Amino acid sequence: MAKNLVIVESPFKARTIEKYLGKNYKVLASVGHVRDLPKSQMGIDLENNFEPKYITIRGKGPVIAELKKEQKKADRVLIATDPDREGEAIAWHLATALDLDKEEAMRVSFQEITKEAVKEAIKKPVVIDQGLVDAQQARRILDRLVGYGISPILWRKVMKGLSAGRVQSVATRLIILREREISAFIPKEYWLFDGKFLTSSKKLVDAELIKYKNKKLEVSTKEEAMEIKKEIQSTDFSVTDIQEKKRSRAPYGAYTTSTLQQDASVRLNFSSSKTMMLAQRLYEGIKIGRSTEGLITYMRTDSARISESAVLAAKDFIVDNYGSKYSAPKIGGAAKAAQDAHEAIRPTSVEHTPEKMASYLKRDELRLYTLIWTRFVASQMKSAQYEGIQVTIAGGDYEFRAKGERQVFDGFLKVYDDRKSKDVELAPMEIGEEMTLNELKEEQKFTQPPSRYTEASLIKELEENGIGRPSTYAPTLTAIMKRGYVVKEKKNLLPTELGEITNEIMEENFLQIVEPEFSAEMEEELDKISDKSTAWQEVIGDFYGVLKPMLEEAEKSVQKYDLDELTDIKCEKCGSPMLIKKTVKGSFYACSNYPECQNTKPILKEIGVPCPLCEKGQIVERKTKKLKVFWGCDQFPDCRFASWDKPINRMCPKCGSILVEGKGKRSGTIHCSSKECDYTEKKDKKKGSKA
């Protein structure tokens, strides 16, 4: 009989830890939360100091029963849920459900799932941190007050299924505000000049015009540009200044949740939710030979701190593999408001190189692990060093600048080469040397509007504004897309009509709540609850004091929106005009003679490609139940053609199957849809075909 019962969240994690601890320990999983607020009602007693009414989550009764059964057999119960606010709250709910004494030391946490870390943590249980529990509880109640207070108004005034979220509404608004900036943007014309000069030894030097009449160059019309070009071509030039400069480029710190999600988006094209799913696997454990081991530390963190033991291990690895000149140990620090009990995201063992782990990991797991491993190792290495030269070539009212640079020490780029800089050699020159203008190119440019948000840039914006926390970024992005407020086109996030309408209601009636500054202030208040310097009821009371009058006024003032759009398409069953009905999951045609006629049909987006399978239908864009886009025949179910890649109106010259546009790692190519054929060509951006 096991003397100790250990409870974790994940069944996989449970199996891994039980192997580490041996026969005196029984490890079971709660499979996440066991208690929560009810879905059918607000679940908060507004008249009794906002007391939450927790219930057992549907389906968790048998889980609790099994835990109680094992609890009776054990001498001691330890709760080893994740080391964050959410994990602390789950531990508290488990202790409540099992009627455990919360004053006893039963809480175990570890930053990494390795045998040493788990065994060490088990020896040092602590009391559940009520501050963290209260902070999570306050966050849950805040979100419930917003969601269950505002969402019914959206259902009645716009459409069923819409909802408001405290953080999601702010994220949606940021995307819409950026779209407004783009729409309001007026491009301004400007001109650039590049000159090619010949040295006295007939070597070519590229230089950019930077000053005119001792001021920064500002040319805004073609007439002015042509006048300047004419003057430059009749001017004599010489070298007036040479400056040698040294530059260093420091490595980035090890990843936080935010920077990992941003980098994985930019470098690997991963969504934030995919990044977190893969990171969870790497954290919980990968089977390596006969053992299972967590490969990275806990992946929800806003701290850049590295443990002393990890720093020392990295130092030894770097010295052994690259030489002592590359080593520069750094513990790092935490940003403002970071939960510094955590470490940054790093490999649990620096000796587990990506090359050694390649045979144990799936492709995307390996790609993410490689990112984490190289970033950590690079963070413990010296800066890259550069020697640069800057040459000023002047004549009359004009000043050109030529720059050269070469890397003299690669430093951290030895392992983390992102190829941001390349050596640029300049021909030897001397001050006073005459330079002959060989060629002058003028280029018309226009200022560009701000870029649309991508997942990476929106996460960065949320973090910089103090909106949400590491654990909320991925769920927030998933929620606003799932609810139909935002769509992703390529990598860009664009608001939908539903998003615009919902945001309009929020701005007109709940502006304070969707202001980024207000959301950031609420995060600071939640941090104060964690520190036990503020009572959670006080924070909720202040918030509800702001929200309640807004809700009362919105009930009276919000006008009903009619989203139905009348078309000239006739219903094939009764002849009445068809309406375009808009829902959270998309739009469809519905007969305007409802309820007498209940005919509906999907709105199919044709792409101008005949179906290669039945040769009767047209290929149309479709969506799965989870809103994932694919392409299929409009004659479904009679024709079953379907493709995850977008077909084009050409056949493979090699095997005759239809060609499709590549995506992901094959982005920018056109390839054969047949798995048996290896035909690929580069995509012409203008024609969508071979260059």
**What are the structure tokens assigned to 316, written together?**
């030894």
The Cα–Cα gap between 496 and 179 comes to 11
DSSP 411: G
Residue type (1 letter), 617: G
Distance CA 151, CA 38 (A): 16
Quote the DSSP letter at residue 573: T
Amino acid at 536: W
End-to-end CA distance of the chain: 71
User: What's the chain's length in residues?
Assistant: 691
Burial category of 443 from C-beta neighbours within 10 Å (exposed 0-12, middle 13-18, buried 19 and up): exposed
Distances (CA, A) of 97 to 61, 575, 578: 10, 60, 54
Alpha carbon 581 to chain centroid, angstroms = 32
Residue 452's CB is within 10 A of a number of other CB atoms, namely 19
CB 620 within 8 A of CB 603: no
How far is Cα 357 from Cα 616, in angstroms, rounded to an integer? 50
Name the residue with tokens 């060093």.
Answer: 385
User: Tokens 């590549």 belong to which residue?
Assistant: 662
β-bridge pairing 51-52 and 55-56: unpaired
Structural tokens at position 94? 């488990």
Amino acid in position 59: G
Q: What share of the chain is helix, strand, coil (3-state, %, to 5)?
A: 35, 25, 40
Quick one: 75 exposed, middle or buried, by C-beta within 10 A (0-12, 13-18, 19+)?
exposed
Which runs of E-coded beta strand occur in 199-236? 204-212, 215-216
How many Cα atoms occupy the beta-carbon half-sphere of 236 within 13 Å? 3
Active site residues: 298
Cα separation, 533 vs 535, in Å, equals 7
Alpha helices in 2-60 (DSSP H): 11-21
Rounded CA-CA distance 588/565 in Å is: 11
**Please, which contacts does 595-598 make with residues 24 or more away whose CB atoms are closer than 8 Å?**
597/571, 597/573
Q: Please tell me whether residue 134 adopts helix, strand or coil conformation.
A: helix
Count CB neighbours of 121 within 10 A.
20
Kind of pairing, strands 76-79 and 4-8?
parallel
Residues ≥6 apart with Cβ < 8 Å to 180: none
- 3-state secondary structure at position 553: helix
Looking at the DSSP assignment, which residues form a beta bridge with residue 683? 690
DSSP 126: B
DSSP state of 576: P
Q: Which residue has the tokens 């009348």?
A: 566
Say whether 492 sits in a helix, a strand or coil.
Answer: strand
Helix axes 166-184, 455-464, angle to 10 degrees: 110
